[in-house]
Chains A and B, each alone.
Chain A
Amino acid sequence: MRQGVVMPSHLDTERDTSPVALFTPESPFLETAQLSQGEEHGEHPIADRFWETESPFLHDIHALEVSSPLASEFSELLTELYDETFNETVRDMAAEAATLHAQQLTGEFEDRDAATARAERLMAEHFGPLAQMAEQMFEQFAQTFARYDPQSLTEAEIDRLAEQFQPPVGQLSPIFEEFLGKLFKKATGVLKGAVNLVKKGVAAVGKLGLGPFLKKLKGLVWPLLKRVIQFALNKLPASVRPLAQKLASKLLGTQAEAEAGEAAGGVLPATATGEHVQFEFDVQAVQLLFAADEAEMEQFAAESAAAPQQYVDVAGDMDRARQQLTTELSALQQGQSAGPAIQNFLPAALVALQPIAKIAITIIGRPKVVNFLGDLLAKLIQRYVGAEGAKLLSRAVADVGLGLVGLEVPGQSPQRLGYDALAATLENTVTNLVNQPEYVFENETLLEAATLQAFEAAVQGNFPSQLLKPQLQNGEPSSFVLMPRNQRRKYYKKNYPVREVEIVPAVAKEVKTFGQCTLEQFFRDQLLLPDNTTVKAKLHIYEAICGTWLGYISQMETNVGGLGGYSRQAYYQFHPLTPEAAVALKVPGLGMEVPPEYLAGREALAVGQRVYYLELPGQTRGVGSASYVRLEIDLRKGEIRLYIYLSEKRSQEIAQQLRTSGAVAGALQTIAEIVGAFVNTVRRGSVGRAVRVIRETLEPEQLTLPTAAAVIQGARSAAGAVAGAVRSAVNSATNAVTSVAATVAGNVAGAALPAAGGAKAGVGSAIGQAALEWLINKILDWANQALGRWLVDNKDLFIRHASDPSKRGVTIIITFNPSQDLLRRVLLATVFPATLAVPPGRVELVAGPR
């Protein structure tokens, strides 16, 4: 395949006599580094990849058996406490803190420990007032509720009594107030849970009273905020650790063991989603209620307080490794080898990536491997080492349009762009390599082949395309550049030149964005553009590196209209540049395939994932919420709940139709369109949190903080983690052990459809998918039948809720109550009754999203 390349027969520690020196690996660069205008499109190296997600359905009848009542209560309470919007608030709060103190946080410190200490001190000061208010709120709760007998309290009384402690308005920043509001909700939720448990004779709180319990709860506030602080500093919990060890053995009869998370689909997650912040608090709060007596409650509290707080700074470490590499590369003279610089970089980069990439530590410690890779890569980049090479590279980058946009920063050498491109290429090579199985690193031939492949992909992503061989070029000359240019710390890459793009409605209809939306829906529902608008915009393309969060890109792109802030409104305007989107936007070759879960929402990106932003002239509004459908299959209650959220735009359209003509056909058509988008998303496999199975059993995952990799992708939330159980159930039922990916986050069971092009999903997954599709179609069918009549009878209700000025949009909630037996049999894919019809138990309408 690679003619002219002599494979080394073995690895040698002696660099001078290394066989690597005897051959010249084939490079992806043009032999003569001239700027060319090649037209051929290179085949994308990962175009053939496929992604699998896991079926949410149970294939083992035993998995449906109800666990112990205590465990079930625990699981139920965690489920009720979990609040998706809490995560959003945490992200916003962390982003605000990081932004407000950006200057101090990015200051240059020689001593890393001193810098960390200073950053933490700053953050502690920032969050101090919030902590004070939150603790005060819990203290007030404790003093008030200590006077009441939990046996006699009702939920309504709890709400009434708690009302007086609603966080005051105007004393803290809006985001702090929002957070306090969420914490207030959690506090009342825990209280209600406590009272319910007392009434069932479960909780020791019955004997102790609510006062001591709430005081312990207050003790969890600062640890919670400390997690927010670490998250704001882009740091993650270092390793797997049990959160409620004692309780786990009590409830599950075994020591809780976390299942190691794996990077989904062989890609690395770019940053954390912040869900672990809430997850840990919930578990710690709820376990207090399961203490047998005061001593045990004290023990649980102490266990929570003493939980080791080791954090890793993956993105920061990677950035420092890259900076060091850039410095060393820029010191090289023409003709000097970059080998030593790369050999210094590799261990640093691998150590940085280890928490999220599961690299065997033994590999890092092997000088032979490092030296081999160093020499190999040094040869590959040799032409661009030294001032002249870097200048050539810089000029090529500038040629694609950088000079025009002022990215050449005063004080930086003209070669800087070139060195950055080299460093980014080497970094990318490493991130492409790290998910290789360990045996690859054991065999020099395999390692070389894998390295060349990883390098080629990295070069394509980081070098100006006019320096590549024609078969590797992707359309017009362009280049990705590490950003922001005026900061040492880099947060993302941007592609230049920025292009003009025209998107006609027919194309917008076909291009999917994150979640269940198409571009057409985004334009109409979220940007509020008139229907059938042909959009002319500037197309800005970005790529995620370690540590990239869309909010950072949005915040740092200050010269791009509509961006410049980290708010959801700003970063919700990014879209995934999948290969399909890239073709539609006429930038073929720039699209990047990622596992479907990275298309479900905007919270988590994969390293290397590409996104785009459309800058519309004069379009400066932030975006509103998109319409969506959610499905909850609640095994505890034997209930199926379908949530159809109609965006403000859609609900207003429907309300107007109902007011003027009274006909519901238009409304049903709108709903059908939204439901259709949901079904398509299910097929794509990026349904994310839109399908949720709430289990009736407690899983070890619910009590254990997952690996850093899983934290990054989205912690297994407290609300009934099904993934582990499903995996084992599927495996035991079908023996299809190898192919079921273990990537579903928490309670959210990603619906799996084998991706087109030959997925090798396991038998169990395929059966689960069939059941899922069958069930979804049935539910939607039942819903459709019910909705027509319901809308006719409830026009006024719809109009009233759509007019609620305090809420945006409306949600129709349709609840079905199939018999438990039927639900189980369907989920086990043992029965698909053709004529089955389950009328909705109830249809409700609420203002705003649910």
Chain B
Amino acid sequence: MDRDLDVLRRQVSRQVVHWLTAADALSNLEQMASAGAWSQLERYLGVAVRQSLAEAVEQLRREGAVLRARLRACSSAADLRSVQRAVMAFRERYLQTETLVDFYGRAVNSRTSPEQGTILRACDLMATRSMDAVLAPLGVAAPRVLSYFERGLGASILKAGLRLWDGGTLSPAAAIKITFHNRMRPTALIHETGHQVAHLLDWNTELASTLELGLRDIPVDLQKTWSSWASEIAADCFAFVHTGFGSVSALSDVVGGESVFRFIPGDPHPIAYLRVLLGVEMCVRFFGAGPWDELGKTWRETYDVGEAAPGVRPIVTDSLPLLPRIVDLCLRTRQRAFRGRALSDLVDPARVKPEALSALERTVGTSLFVSPPWILGECLRLLALHSLRFAVDPEHGVEVLRDQRAWMMQLGSDKLAA
């Protein structure tokens, strides 16, 4: 009997030691991301991320210590079986924490070189600036941003302040994925910060209601469909007010293709065909005629609505005449989230109108691209300007991206102001 107990104890003990050792290993954050990559983070961000991960791992280890104590106290097979079950639960907890640490580890590790680190720091800064523009006047603090590069077509965000995989830790920063292909056209970054801002101000729900209310004269199904897209539209609007036509053009490059008419009920992403044309309409409504007209025309010509699935076709055709109204509802309607102001009141899209961007370039001259106060103060308009240039003059796209890289390297440099 004692021998059986010893055997069982050894088995359970092995499992406990295994998972406890694994939990201990998680605390070595240098193993999850290289010291070099950590050093590429702004210090305040690195401290916050490390602290958050350390707390998550520490919590896990504390639970591990309890498990170990329980094992030591076992005096019967029943006790050991109970601990064995607890080990399984602990394993789950370990995996959750590992997912958490691994996620941030990979995000940090994407700063593989000083150059990558510098570009990503520039992205962090632009992201923060874009949020500040709306949040600061409302007295809300913008969260930290940890942007990272990853493969794929579209950007994404793990919003700050969300409860993470381990069920306890709150995400210490808005982790924004930027795809490799968009490294030098990061307008999607601003779309993602739009998600964060809408989340913080609870704008998504309000915008959904605004759309429903504003479109109450159309069939309910279509009305509901548009309101179900509110969160993505909100983010698109946010990107538009900050970066203008550049964001629309970049969006069209990402969502174009065979799936432009794909409609998945419940998916917050609007039908891509409509989404791009909504962006074009934003330009029309705020800027008048311009290069977006060409994009709209080509877009319509490239994608024949007749090719849309029969169930989707009416959604598209019925929506097209609504686009001007939808733009106004999203951008010009006063919202509680913005303390009674409209988004375009807080961030005036006229600042990123092509003429305004040209005027900026003309009045500041070459200093705009090399002088720290200008780069820092106008980084979002610089992004808008270069995205616009890339959109309207793709023949010189390589040069535009080279220039974009140059000022972003300055923006991300820790010696920017010196």
Contacts and interface: CB of A to CB of B under 8 A. Distances in A.
A802 interface: yes
A132 B30 CA distance: 37
A437 interface: no
Nearest to B365: A803
A620 B42 contact: yes
A803 B366 contact: yes
A624 B365 contact: no
B141 A528 contact: no
Contacts of B142: 617-618
A81 interface: no
B415 A562 contact: no
Interface in A652-667: 652, 655-656, 659-660
Interface stretch (B340-348, B373-381, B393-401): B373-381
Name the residue among A559, A615, A618 with the largest chain B CB count within 10 angstroms: A618
Contact of B363 (A563, A623, A659, A805): A659
Contacts of A808: 372, 418
21 contacts: A526-B417, A527-B417, A528-B377, A530-B377, A559-B47, A561-B43, A561-B47, A562-B44, A569-B418, A617-B44, A618-B128, A620-B44, A622-B416, A625-B418, A648-B373, A655-B367, A660-B363, A803-B365, A803-B371, A805-B366, A805-B371
Interface of A: 526-528, 530, 558-559, 561-564, 568-569, 615, 617-618, 620-625, 648-649, 652, 655-656, 659-660, 799, 802-803, 805, 808
A655 B365 contact: yes
Interface of B: 42-45, 47, 128, 141-142, 144, 362-367, 370-374, 376-377, 414-418
Given A530-B377, A622-B415, A805 B43 contact: no
A659 B365 contact: yes
A558 B418 CA distance: 21
B43 A558 contact: yes
A384 to B, nearest CB: 33
B20 to A, nearest CB: 20
A652 B370 CA distance: 11
A707 to B, nearest CB: 34
A463 to B, nearest CB: 30
A564 B417 contact: no
Given A569-B414, A621-B414, A648-B371, 4 more contacts: A564-B43, A621-B416, A622-B416, A625-B418
Nearest to B47: A559
B363 A621 contact: no
B29 to A, nearest CB: 15
B287 to A, nearest CB: 22
A803 B364 CA distance: 9
A813 to B, nearest CB: 21
Contacts of B414: 569, 620-622
Nearest to A650: B373
Contact of A652 (B47, B128, B141, B374): B374
B43 A624 contact: no
B366 A622 contact: no
A536 to B, nearest CB: 8
A648 B377 contact: no
A620 B121 CA distance: 10
Contacts of A648: 371-373, 417
Contacts of A618: 42, 44, 128, 142, 144
A530 B144 CA distance: 19
A799 B372 CA distance: 16
Contacts of A802: 367
Contact of A528 (B43, B45, B363, B417): B417
Nearest to B359: A660
Of all A-B residue pairs in the complex, the 9 with the closest CB atoms, nearest first, are A561-B44, A624-B417, A805-B370, A649-B373, A620-B42, A564-B43, A803-B367, A528-B376, A660-B363
A619 to B, nearest CB: 8
Given A618-B142, A622-B417, A624-B417, A528 B365 contact: no
Contacts of A625: 418
A667 to B, nearest CB: 15
DSSP majority for the A interface?
loop
A574 to B, nearest CB: 16
A799 B365 contact: yes
Kindly name the residue among B42, B377, B417 whose own CB sees the greatest number of chain A CB atoms within 10 A. B417
Contacts of A649: 373
A564 B39 CA distance: 11
Contacts of A621: 376, 414, 416-417
| Most-contacted residue by chain A among B144, B366, B414 (CB, 10 A) | B414
A568 B371 CA distance: 19
Contacts of B144: 618
Contacts of B418: 568-569, 622-625, 808
Nearest to B144: A618
Contacts of B417: 526-528, 569, 621-624, 648
Nearest to B132: A618
A103 B372 CA distance: 36
A528 B372 contact: yes
B55 to A, nearest CB: 12
Contacts of A624: 372, 417-418
Contacts of A528: 372-373, 376-377, 417
A161 to B, nearest CB: 32
B183 to A, nearest CB: 21
Contacts of A617: 44, 141-142
Contacts of A805: 366-367, 370-371
B110 to A, nearest CB: 19
A266 to B, nearest CB: 36
A660 B364 CA distance: 9
Nearest to A809: B371
Contacts of A623: 417-418
A504 B254 CA distance: 44
A659 B42 CA distance: 36
A618 B142 CA distance: 9
A797 B42 CA distance: 38
B368 to A, nearest CB: 9
B364 A652 contact: yes
A526 B363 CA distance: 23
Contacts of B376: 528, 621
Given A558-B43, A569-B417, A618-B44, A652 B363 contact: no
Contacts of B47: 559, 561
A625 B376 CA distance: 15
Nearest to A625: B418
A7 to B, nearest CB: 53
A803 B416 CA distance: 16
A805 B374 CA distance: 12
Contacts of A799: 365
Contacts of B415: 569, 622
A530 B133 CA distance: 11
Contacts of B370: 803, 805
A652 B45 CA distance: 31
A799 B141 CA distance: 37
A618 B128 CA distance: 8
Nearest to B360: A656
Nearest to B50: A559
A656 B364 CA distance: 6
A562 B45 CA distance: 10
A648 B368 CA distance: 12
Nearest to A527: B417
A780 B233 CA distance: 58
Nearest to B375: A528
B411 to A, nearest CB: 10
A808 B416 CA distance: 11
Nearest to B42: A620
A486 to B, nearest CB: 16
A227 B188 CA distance: 54
A692 B343 CA distance: 55
Contact of B43 (A527, A530, A569, A620): A620
A656 B414 CA distance: 26
Nearest to A661: B363
A652 B43 CA distance: 29
